[in-house]
Chain A
């Protein structure tokens, strides 16, 4: 069944979109990521214009992370105070990101920037995760699953001024590092149309030293607001949020997420992470090949800005 998308102005098969939403939903349920980093490139492949894919992707993430954060609130694993600090930085970052995005759009380089961001971040995150999870599998085989001893890190994060107490996380640290991290992630959110969870989560664990059990909920909490803000900015400045597209992806995604959670429960954490890492690297490789190989069509048509 073909559906004409009013904003993207293309006609796409509705079941294909439902399937895409479902597939990404399954993966996000399995691995606990927003799935935006997969969804946006997949939308490019289907033929949705990149600007619409980025803006609508942000809208779709609002829904999946809201669904997720409700579950975490019930389990009281959301650090609202840390979330608010991250949120403040994230909003500033998102505003900067949309300005950068619009500037590059006028230069005609927005596709390149988005693709480069993807290759860079997917490559780094995928490689780190792959190495880390392989090491974890080897360790669990050798030592029979004894967890490594944990110690409280005291690094440069703890020497900065403007300290604040974050009770849920059990932290007493400066507000500067969370602000910097969240501004950077906010910029990426606006440019890449992703929630930024796959960068935010490692940053919260390794840089801020937050306990793992509150990280996912807190990250989701601030992602809702940052992606929501990004959606609004794209809707009012670029007119590129496609509601029909978003609804189709939502329906697929919501159902997929629940199936994915079921699959995820039955698999081992290390195996899951190796699979996720391979998936991330595969998407990264495909995008990198597009940049490095000679494209079959050298020319592209774009509307002229400022109509």
Chain B
């Protein structure tokens, strides 16, 4: 019995060597540095399909996703109370990626079946995980949709249908624009090969986004030594105030 289970496990976990088509991937950069003059960035994702068998009749499609670190966010809605617009209802969303881009080589519904979307969490609504809304909020769906709408407007969420260029069923490339208001962390990058909407191969890698130099130093200091950071801010302010006063007194005298 135990051997049977082991065999079964082997069969289910080892289909990889049997796979006919694989992704070979390249990235224009696997590290994005947020420097002081960081103004957004562009990542070029390119690769090829490695195959051991002749080309099949039904064409392959490519789906590329880049996801920033997930965070717990609260979406609030304003309501009119006593003539004033103020935040009233709130829904907590357990995990929403801080950045999410999905690029495909064909329209989304042709490239990926809904069931595969659900399994691999590919499209934007699937990438957001929202478990329970408080009972008094009946229309929790609206909050998730609002989150997507707001982040799409600021370029943090992107659906780029047809943005993957796929040549000769072999070479593909896509470029993803990273906006300037990026948070740091590991950006999971996934490539799916699909045929008839079903995923036939998958590849994952990580793009590191870090603050560097002065940005890194100040951020770390503010979190780890907040008192020293605060005192340093004050010292700069007092020095600047004294400096200005002294400089302009000199100017007036001369």
* A interface residues (Cβ-Cβ under 8 A, vs B): 1-4, 6-7, 9-11, 59-60, 62-68, 70-71, 108-109, 111-112, 228, 231-232, 234-236, 239, 241, 243-244, 246-247, 250-251, 254, 257-258, 290-295, 297-304, 307
- Min CB distance B168 to A, Å, is 39
A301 touches B222 (CB 8 A): no
Q: Which listed residue (A6, A70, A247) contacts B241, Cβ 8 A?
A: A70
Comparing B30-38, B45-53, B158-166, the segment that makes contact with chain A is B30-38
Interface of A is mostly: helix
Over the window 24-66 of chain B, the binary record of Cβ atoms lying under 8 Å from chain A Cβ atoms (1 yes, 0 no) is 0000000000111111100000000000000000000000000
- Min CB distance B232 to A, Å, is 7
Most B Cβ at <10 Å: residue of A4, A9, A228: A4
- Min CB distance A161 to B, Å, is 36
Closest A residue to B79 by beta carbon equals A298
A292 touches B40 (CB 8 A): no
The contact size tier of chain B is 35 or more
Query: How many angstroms between the C-alpha atoms of A307 and B234 in the bound complex?
Result: 27
Hey, which chain B residues are within 8 Å of A67, CB to CB? 240-242, 244-245
Hey, which chain B residues are within 8 Å of A304, CB to CB? 72-74, 92
Hey, which chain A residues are within 8 Å of B71, CB to CB? 303
A10 touches B219 (CB 8 A): no
A243 and B236 in contact, given A109-B86, A299-B146 (Cβ under 8 angstroms)? yes
Hey, which chain A residues are within 8 Å of B238, CB to CB? 62-63, 66
Closest B residue to A288 by beta carbon equals B84
Query: How many angstroms between the C-alpha atoms of A293 and B226 in the bound complex?
Result: 39
Q: Which of B214-244 contact A (CB under 8 A)?
A: 214-216, 218-219, 222-223, 226-227, 229-234, 236-238, 240-244
A231 and B233 in contact, given A4-B38, A236-B227 (Cβ under 8 angstroms)? yes
